[in-house]
Amino acid sequence: MLRDSPHANISTFVYGMEVGWMSPTTKILQSESSPLGYALSDTALSLVASSTCFAGAFGVTIFSYSTDKFGRKLTVIAITIPQFISIILRIISPTLTALLIARILAGLVAGGCFIVVPIYVKEISQKNNSGILVSLQVLLQNVGLFIMFLMGIYVNYYNILLITSIFPILSLILFWYIAPESPAYLVKQKKIDEAYKAVALLRGLKRDDKNVENEITILKHSEEEQKLLPNMTLKDILSDKAWRNGVILALILFTAQALNGAFAIITYASPILSATGVEFDVAPEFQTLSLPVVMILASFLLTFIIERLGRKVILSVSFLISAVALTSLSISIFVRNFGGRVLSFLPVVAMMLSVAMYSGCICSVSYLVTTELFNFQVRGKLMGIVLSYAFMVFFIPLAVYSPITNMFGQHITFLFFGMMNIIGAFFSFFCLPETKGRSDEEIRNILWNRKKENSF
């Protein structure tokens, strides 16, 4: 059944709105009519924008612990509380300190969204639709981004936040009264009777239905197998050559993803378009709506090609297209700065290509490859490390974007991002193992031997 997945993913939808909040708000915060009472400096603005990513690293750790200690359902409900506080804080206390605290709270929640929600959705779904349900997370995040960009055009600072505050409350109410606990977690806690009720509710069947009985039997068998496995510490895992190599590859991949430049474009979309100097009959705020639209379309497209092409091909081509797009954006800004003329549509198209490749391919496939690099015995611990690192490294482009742009010019910033995408393309093609269609044992052998393999 699909009905419970959207309830969990409302938190992801709100996170998407949070990601998009900075783009329309930047202009407001740096204006004379700023709700803070003064125009925010570029340095302060960079700190506000990047603090979410830095806090996300700690959110991964906190919510990873909570999801096993207190259950999936309670942890998803807990996500809505700091989300709501973060929004309200910006309404009742529009100060720099309040903004930073609010964005830090939003960052902690982001870590939870990428740990707890996928676990819950995967555990309540049936095998034949788990991929569709998990893909809803990316889709709803992009829809949230689009809604925020759209509201930024028509709605003022305070009303945007008031409207956004409705969704965490809605998520809390729906999840508290409608969504069941994960059956897998209930079996783990030996609450078998409650697990029967949860499966029956999720599948729309009676408690004594044979399909419910079979599913509970499979969950109990899986739990017994888990108990037989040796308890490996993080030190034990990293002492293993294959897993250590896998972690190194994953960290490099997420570094390339973070420095890809698309996240900075999403965050500062409106001011970037204004700075290109290209004049349209359409205001930059309207032009930025094209970004979440292509991100949504790219997410849909990925579902059609992900199992037809290898992970290496998708990542390599996506990084290369992003490199061309951002280098073109850099050149167009450079030419405009020196009085030259460029094709009026080029900056917008370059930005659209960059965010499409990021959302539809680089972000999703990087995450998928990382989960496929490790088997289930070590995946939980290592994914926590990788995701914490990912949030911390995403802090860098947002924190340094304004200072580097002010010091060297926007064209240098995007030229740097273009070069990072070239590095990402070469790394993906020549260093990453192809994980599509391979067993855990095959991938482990490749990681152990570190053979150069370029099979598609």
Q: What is the 3-state secondary structure (H, E, C) of 9-49?
A: HHHHHHHHHHHHHHHHHHHHHCCCCCCCCCCCCHHHHHHHH
Residue of 80, 52, 75, 74 lying closest to 166 (CA atoms): 80
Q: Is the dihedral of CA 362, 364, 368, 371 positive or negative?
A: positive
Structure confidence at residue 456 as a pLDDT band (50, 70, 90): very low
Mean pLDDT computed over 16-23: 87
Structure confidence at residue 99 as a pLDDT band (50, 70, 90): very high
pLDDT at 1: 46
Structure confidence at residue 229 as a pLDDT band (50, 70, 90): low
Burial class (CB in 10 A: 0-12, 13-18, 19+), 407: exposed
Q: Which CATH class is domain 1-179?
A: mainly alpha
Structure confidence at residue 203 as a pLDDT band (50, 70, 90): confident
Count Cα neighbours of 17 within 13 Å in the Cβ-side half-sphere. Answer: 25
386/129: higher pLDDT: 386
- Residue 403 and residue 413: Cα distance in Å, rounded? 10
Q: Note the helical H segments in 241-289.
A: 241-258, 262-267, 269-275, 284-287
Residue of 450, 428, 426, 420 lying closest to 370 (CA atoms): 428
Report residue 20 as tokens. 């998009």
Mean pLDDT computed over 24-39: 87
Does the pLDDT of residue 426 top 90, yes or no? yes
CB count, 10 Å around CB of 238?
A: 16
Stretch(es) of the chain classified as CATH 1.20.1250.20? 1-179, 231-456
Structure confidence at residue 420 as a pLDDT band (50, 70, 90): very high
Q: Give me the helix-helix angle, 96-113 and 72-92, nearest 10°.
A: 160
Mean pLDDT computed over 360-377: 80
The mean pLDDT of the chain is: 82
CATH code at 231-456: 1.20.1250.20
Mean pLDDT computed over 63-79: 86
- Residue 208 and residue 58: Cα distance in Å, rounded? 43
Burial class (CB in 10 A: 0-12, 13-18, 19+), 425: buried
Does the pLDDT of residue 129 top 80, yes or no? no
DSSP classification of residue 374:
S
Q: Which residue shows structure tokens 């855990």?
A: 440
Structure confidence at residue 281 as a pLDDT band (50, 70, 90): low
pLDDT at 297: 84
Percent of the chain with pLDDT over 90: 18
pLDDT at 417: 93
Does the pLDDT of residue 169 top 70, yes or no? yes
